[in-house]
Amino acid sequence: MRNAFCTKVESLFTANPYDIERLSDAVLYAYDCKQSKRTFFTASAEFCEKSLKITNNEQHEIVHICVDGGLIQYGLEDYIGDGKKHGRCDCIIFDNNRLLLVEFKMDVEPLTKDKTLWGNFSHAMNQIKDFYLYLKDRFLQSGDDLHLFYENTNIIPIICMKYTPNIHPKRNAQRNNEKERFRMATNLKIQSFCEYKL
């Protein structure tokens, strides 16, 4: 499945040069490099403090493609061409079973106010949502359905943050409502963590 999906993505995104990284190590790291304005995928733990750690016990092949600065030119806000600004996640990571849509918000200090954390979280949700809906639409326009490759339950939107905002089920109605709007728009459940097992 990963190869068919990768081939499809390659056929849809041809305007900007990007690398397709394929690794099968037992532990892998994806991280966002602010200097080069793109994401990287590696078996090296050198940048583990700012990475999404992926455990790959079966050591099957996992594919990483940078979205912001890869599939889509860095800084290009109207990448759809409708005259509006659109967000996009940092990268996609996938194997035969799951597709991860990853947005990094790792450069937050531990003493950051909860309101600021939520601002980052909310912004990340919108970035993932915009790109996911765009990706689905591109697949449909080309005569394919994204869900023929990955079902909704196997598409995982991840906000990679060390310090996440407090989202209390009863007290934080606004935050829960915003998460629910994300779910209604995408049929996906937003998640936030720094480690994942593929």
- 112 has a pLDDT exceeding 90: no
Q: What is the pLDDT of residue 83?
A: 93
Q: What is the pLDDT of residue 93?
A: 98
Q: What percent of the chain has pLDDT over 90?
A: 86
| Residue 142, CA atoms < 13 Å, CB-side half-sphere | 16
Average pLDDT, the chain: 94
Q: What is the residue extent of each domain of the chain?
A: 2-18+67-193
> Which pTM value belongs to this model?
0.95
- 22 has a pLDDT exceeding 90: yes
- 119 has a pLDDT exceeding 80: yes
Give the residue-averaged pLDDT of 144-163: 95
Task: Give the pLDDT confidence of 64-107 residue by residue, as tens digits.
Answer: 999 999 999 998 999 999 999 999 999 999 999 999 999 999 98
